Amino acid sequence: MNEKPTAGELLKKTVCLFEDAGIPDPETDAWLLFENAFSTDRTAFLLDRGRRPDPGQVRIFGEYTEERLSGKPVQYILGEAWFCGYRFRVNPDVLIPRYDTELLVEEAKKAARPGMKVLDLCTGSGCVIITLQLESGIEGTGTDISEAALDAARSNNGELGAECAFLKSDIFDNVRGKYDMIVSNPPYIRSADIDGLQKEVRDFEPRLALDGGHDGLDLYKRIASDAPEHLKEKGRIILEIGHDQAEDVQKILEVNGFTDIIVVKDLSGHDRVVRAVKA
C-alpha cells in the first residue's frame, strides 16, 4: 500500500500542478493555500515537512487547490488580501486590493492631515480610505454604487478599528458637502479589453469595478466634472490611472479647472497616479 504523501511532497506536487496549469506565480499561490489549510508557517514547515498531514487538512488543501486550478484567485479562496500591511476581507463583490494602489495611498498621505475630510469614490473593500484614516487620522468617507461592496468595506472598517463612514452613491449622486481631498481608484479598463484580461480577473473580479467604458475614461470624466463642487478651495484630487492614460486624464482635469497637475510613476516606471488642485 502506498504511503500518504508527506507535507513537503504534497506542497511540491501542488506547485507542479499550478505550473502545468500556467498559473503565474505557482510557488507563492501553493504556499499561501498550504499555509492556511495546515495552519503553519515557513519555519514550522521546514522543521516538519516530512510528517504525514492530518486527513482533514489534506481535504481542505485539496479543495483550495481545485478552486485555484479553476482560475479563482487565492485572495477570494482565502477571503483576504494584504494592503499597506493590513489584512482586508475580500470577496467576489470587491476588487482585490493591488500593490499598485498603495501608491495612491502614499500620495494622499503626503497631503493628509488629522481631521481633514477625505472622500474615496468607488471604495470597494475600503482599503484606501481605511488605511488613510488609520495612518493619517483623517475624517474618511467611502462611496460605492454596490451595496455588497459597501458591506465588505464596513466589515473591514470594524475589524481594523477605523472610523470611516460609507455611503451608497453613484459617484457624487448622494454626496453632500465639501471635502479637503478626493481620492479614487475608479474602473479604468476599456470595455473591449476586458475579455483579454487574465482569467483570474476576467472571470472572477466584479466587472462593475473594472469596466471604464469604451475608452476607459468614463469615470474620470464624471469625477472631474463634479469634483470641484465637492472640494474646498485649493482642495486636492488624487486618482489612480492605467499606465497609458496619463495624458488623457491630465486633459480631463485641465478642462474641468484643475491646476498643478502631476503624474506619479510606480516602481516599474509606469504612470500610475495623477494628482491635481482645484483652481
Q: The domain that contains 121 carries what CATH number?
A: 3.40.50.150
* Amino acid 1: pLDDT: 40
Lowest mean pLDDT among 4-8, 25-29, 248-252: 4-8
Per-residue pLDDT of 159-168, as tens digits, reads: 999 999 999 9
Q: Do both 112 and 195 map to the same domain?
A: yes
Q: Do both 64 and 113 map to the same domain?
A: no
User: Which residue range is the domain that position 128 belongs to?
Assistant: 94-278
Per-residue pLDDT of 50-66, as tens digits, reads: 788 889 999 999 999 99
Say how many domains are in the chain.
2
In a domain, 43, yes or no: yes
Which cell goes with 279? 483652481
- The strands making up 117-121's β-sheet, listed across from edge to edge, are 165-168, 139-144, 117-121, 179-184, 231-240, 271-278, 258-265
Percent of the chain with pLDDT over 70: 99
The answer to whether the beta carbons of residues 10 and 53 sit under 8 Å apart is yes
Q: What global pTM score does this model have?
A: 0.93
Bridge partner list, 264: 273
Which cell goes with 273? 497616479
The answer to whether the beta carbons of residues 162 and 140 sit under 8 Å apart is yes
Q: What is the mean pLDDT of the chain?
A: 95
- Is the pLDDT at 223 greater than 90? The verdict is yes
Dihedral sign, Cα of residue 259, residue 253, residue 138, residue 231: positive
Domain boundary among 23, 54, 70: 70
Q: Do both 55 and 177 map to the same domain?
A: no
Q: Do both 193 and 261 map to the same domain?
A: yes
Per-residue pLDDT of 187-205, as tens digits, reads: 999 999 999 999 999 999 9
In a domain, 78, yes or no: no
- Is the pLDDT at 47 greater than 80? The verdict is no
Which cell goes with 65? 487547490
Q: Which residue bears the cell 466634472?
A: 225
Distance CA 262, CA 23 (A): 36
Domain boundary among 30, 55, 70: 70
